[in-house]
Structure formats: structure tokens, C-alpha cells
Amino acid sequence: MTTKQVTGEFTVTLAPIEGYAHGQQGVNLGRMSIDKQFTGGLTATSQGEMLNAMTPTQGSAGYVAIEQVIGELDGLQGGFVLQHFGTMDKGQDSLILNVVPDSGSHELTGLSGKMAIRIEAGIHFYDFEYQL
């Protein structure tokens, strides 16, 4: 199976939404809606939800998220789901961002892959490595 890569930019809008748990003992638990617009090799929109935990230590936090992406990847129409697992340890961040197995639809059925996110001068960029 051939691995391909596309890159581009995206905009993201996060907004707080009502959650069940709110945190205790200095930990703040939150829930956010996610709306993204991708341009470049992936021309798509996505919607999803994020759960996050902010600790009392500056720069230490964690989040998980699920977002469904619908649009066009390298000219192929369809959708897929991205799963996020992110941590920050006193400002050192780690992010795992994978395609959920068997979430690809239409021309993207069978898609697998992983995405990296970069922020440079306030602009969000993605590098998406995938197999189809």
C-alpha cells in the first residue's frame, strides 16, 4: 500500500459547550465544540468535540477529541473521522492524531493515516500522511 502525504492550512473555531464534569482540587475540566476549514491537499470541513483538563501547573494539560471530516482528499470525495490524544507537560507538547479505522466513506473507504499539526506565526498547518 502506497503512503501519500498532503499539506495545507486550516482554521479552527473552538467554543465552550456544557459538560458533565467540571473538575476539583485545582483541575478544570472542559468541553468544547470544534469547527475546522481545511485548504490544500485536503479541502474539507470538520465538526467535533474536545474534552480537556487544565492542571494548576502552568503549561500542563491534556485533551482528547473526535472530529468528522467531510470533503475532498487529493481529488477523492468522502469523509473520515480523526481521533486526537494530546498532552502538554510544562509546555512540551505531544499530539497523536489518527484516522479512526473503517471511518472512511465514499471514495475514501479504507482510508488510514495520521496527521501532524504545526502552528507558525499564528497560522495552523497540517501534514496528513495516509494510505488508501
pLDDT, position 115: 98
**DSSP secondary structure string for all residues of 85-119:** EEEEETTEEEEEEEEPTT--EETTTT-EEEEEEEE
pLDDT one-digit tens code per residue, 32-57: 999 999 999 999 999 999 999 999 99
Q: Supply the pTM of this predicted model.
A: 0.93
pLDDT, position 92: 86
